[in-house]
Amino acid sequence: METLTVAPAGPAHPSAPAAPRDHDHDHGPLDPAHALAHADVWLSDVTAGYGDRVALEHVTIAVEPGSLLAVVGPNGAGKSTLLKLMAGLARPWSGRIQVLGGPAGREARRVAYVPQAELVDWAFPVTVEDVVMMGRFPRLGRVRRPGPDDRRSVRDALEQVQMDNHLRTQIGALSGGQRRRVFLARALAAEPDLFLLDEPVTGIDATTQELLMDLLEAQAARGKTVVATTHDLACAAGRFQQVLAVNRTVVAYGPSNLVLDADVLAAAYGGHLLVIEGRTVVLDDAHHHDDAAPGERHFHDMGGR
């Protein structure tokens, strides 16, 4: 798909109401029936939010199998909400969502979702091995306990993220990068067809970022679909095939080199974008996640003890 969908340039401020949309643009260059039949993730004119607060409106996208897609946008743009809609964790107010050929949530065992690090209680008494084993739980069913196959799969996933020498470590004793690696290992151990990752490369060092992106690239090459939100535009540009820029609605969607140009980013980030001598800098706040959804607990001390 070498085309770029750019929404009509409306007022590029996050709080401004979305501009009225040209109907043709709603489906972009995609023929809806074709897109529905071939997409792993398909959203049609989806609007969603929490309480009376709109988080996303009129989102129409189709993500084909084998895609490696970065979702970018400023804080509060609806990136996490979009991921939750795909995971079936939030329901749209209007519009339709199809994931892996069924309504969102129906093919849950073929989906691995990794939440933002802030939503995890790192003091919880579980080890690295315990967390990755959770990725195997859905395929075990009700009564069955993890067996040798599951342990092998856990070991294998931890080898891939180079954490196999930390099996018995309590997760709170890990560094930020190690924590992200363990959660990716949990997703790998689930052997899903669709990875939904909320900020998988936020707050980690360059080496870990390369490692995680290599693994995700390999999964995409095998035909698995990867959708990840990120604040890291350099990573989105360099390591993802496709980028979806959102700011309450779709600002642009297409190959990363086309989406991540200064004009599109200006539309996505509004006043938070600074262009210096042709180089684009995003001025984002330091707090790297969206507001808590109702009922979510955020855990902020990450101190190992």
By CB under 8 A, is residue 278 in contact with other proteins?
A: no
CB 99 within 8 A of CB 111: yes
Residues 11-50 vs other proteins: string with x where CB under 8 A? ----------------------------------------
Query: Helix or strand or coil: residue 261?
Result: coil
| Integer Cα distance of 126 and 171 in angstroms | 7
Residue among 20 and 294 whose Cβ is closer to other proteins: 294
- Which amino acid is present at 297? R
What region, left, alpha or beta, does residue 80 occupy, with left being phi > 0 and alpha being psi -120 to 50 degrees?
alpha
Q: How far is the CB of 181 from other proteins (least distance, A)?
A: 9
Angle, CA of 269, 275 and 277, to the nearest 5°: 165
Min. distance of Cβ 109 from other proteins in angstroms? Answer: 5
With contacts defined by CB under 8 A, name the span among 20-28, 168-176, 216-224, 232-240 that binds other proteins: 168-176
> What residues contact 71, with CB distance under 8 A and at least 6 apart?
79, 82, 83, 227, 228, 229, 230, 243, 244, 246
Residue 131 interacts with other proteins (CB under 8 A): yes or no:
yes
DSSP state of 164: G
The answer to whether 178 contacts other proteins (rule: CB under 8 A) is yes
The only residue of 15, 23, 51, 277 in contact with other proteins, by rule CB under 8 A? 51
Which residues of this chain interact with other proteins, rule CB under 8 A? 51, 84, 87-89, 105, 108-109, 111-115, 119-122, 124-127, 130-131, 134-135, 137-138, 140, 142-143, 145, 166, 169-170, 172-179, 186, 190, 196, 203-205, 207-208, 294, 297, 302-305
